[in-house]
Chain A
């Protein structure tokens, strides 16, 4: 399969073309095209309400979508479902974290490996140790109920739980949401580290500067359409990004 995927050196993990999503009759995303390679962090930035969360939910199979989604070289068809995508190594860390509040941190992590356990892998304890290496704070808190964690710890647990599935593509929805700057810094440092493990990351963020700093390539999403794209370093200095956020230019 990998032979089919490679384009020169770089393996395409996810390719999306003409992706459109609507809520009933109300369009939310229109004609999106993007690509994520192995070991790459791709970010989609944009102001509130642009449709970033919708994009990730559609990719994960939580929302019905039109258009072409090719994941690991396989065209996603009628049978597309969250469960199937999880089995194929796609994992979403949702904006609302969606933790199991009345369970311990360790149990939350364990359930991250549920699908791997189900297909016969029994390496959940080693994986958990690896996750504890990435997030030592979770190790300290492993007996604590997830509902009692602070905002930053919750985000770490949500990411840790996702890593328990040993994903090939990690979808991160606003990891900085509602977090204080120091913690955001820690989270993003971790995201940059994860890249070294070879996992591909699609990072959706409102916090444009942080996202562009850790990512390789970026897209700007505005009112359901991709308005700009380019290597993150170039986007970071593009005036139009600031405009799209703060409306300083008064342009329409």
Chain B
């Protein structure tokens, strides 16, 4: 390997690593706030990318149907609860938020012919379709058993993942898609060509990470999420309910996932099930951070990206084997540090 190849691999590694880092942050956030190990994170990556690809190809993305269906189910559940509690006044609002807004969005997709819209608007529409799925899935799948063990929540996560993969196949078919490039600029750095799209991924990830930092450090909602992660009872007593915190963290995670998918879709072909492996690599990073530390998780994720890039050069067939067995030494190291009998 010469320096040029090393630089290329490094560039690849950092680009992917930046995406894994974003996903790792979302995973740590969701776990800290809700104790959910968010396996379906990867599906949001795929849905984000494929929804955008669908819009660009002039197709109505299947995710809009999912949005409508989830909205109807939630409306039925919430409305029947309102009836039980004799709070009839709440029903119009429930219908408006869960059915009205998705319908409006679907109408917009029909009316606007998104393929002709400028790229930023396409991205916005894709995010508007995919991101609300996060809190809706939280509401339907997780909130009813929010108090269950981490293990039960994990099994639910895997079930949600399996369902979404199946739906992904149904909506987008088995063939992969790429979206249009955000930029065609490229820079020459020495002998290496630096792709503008690659730079964009890294810069956008960094911007998002900084934005997240400000959200958590400076805004009361960000602080409320951190408070829930630290002390659930304490947060509840302040009126920060578990479901509010859950919805909020799932919204963030879905946004990060869909945005990541949109970022990488011009440089990688995304299939309906591509998200899973991408999400899991974010997980490897998150596990390096013990599912608790944000900076360590992000650093771990970058490391995973680099490890992946270089192992694809040396032993491309065993790339996945190397990446996924790399968590074993991490677990060994973590395990040597713990000496405690734990009650689940």
Contact = CB atoms under 8 A, between A and B. Distances in A.
Interface stretch (A96-104, A179-187, A239-247): A96-104
B231 interface: yes
A99 B235 CA distance: 9
B226 interface: yes
Contacts of B231: 98-101
Given A78-B85, A79-B85, A92 B237 contact: yes
A111 B236 contact: no
A139 interface: no
B237 A118 contact: no
A83 interface: yes
B295 interface: no
A79 B82 CA distance: 9
B29 to A, nearest CB: 15
B223 interface: yes
Given A79-B85, A101-B231, A165 B238 contact: yes
Contacts of B89: none
B212 interface: no
Interface in B217-245: 220, 223-224, 226-227, 230-231, 233-241, 244
B238 A115 contact: yes
A161 interface: yes
Contacts of B236: 62, 82-83
Nearest to A107: B223
B220 A111 contact: yes
Interface residues of A, number: 31
Q: Is the interface of B mostly helix, strand, loop or mixed?
A: helix
A236 to B, nearest CB: 31
A114 B85 contact: no
A21 interface: no
A86 B237 contact: yes
Nearest to A162: B237
B223 A111 contact: yes
A103 B223 contact: yes
Contacts of B337: none
22 contacts: A62-B236, A78-B84, A82-B237, A82-B239, A82-B241, A83-B239, A83-B244, A91-B237, A92-B237, A96-B233, A98-B234, A98-B237, A100-B227, A100-B230, A102-B226, A103-B226, A110-B220, A111-B224, A111-B240, A112-B238, A117-B220, A161-B238
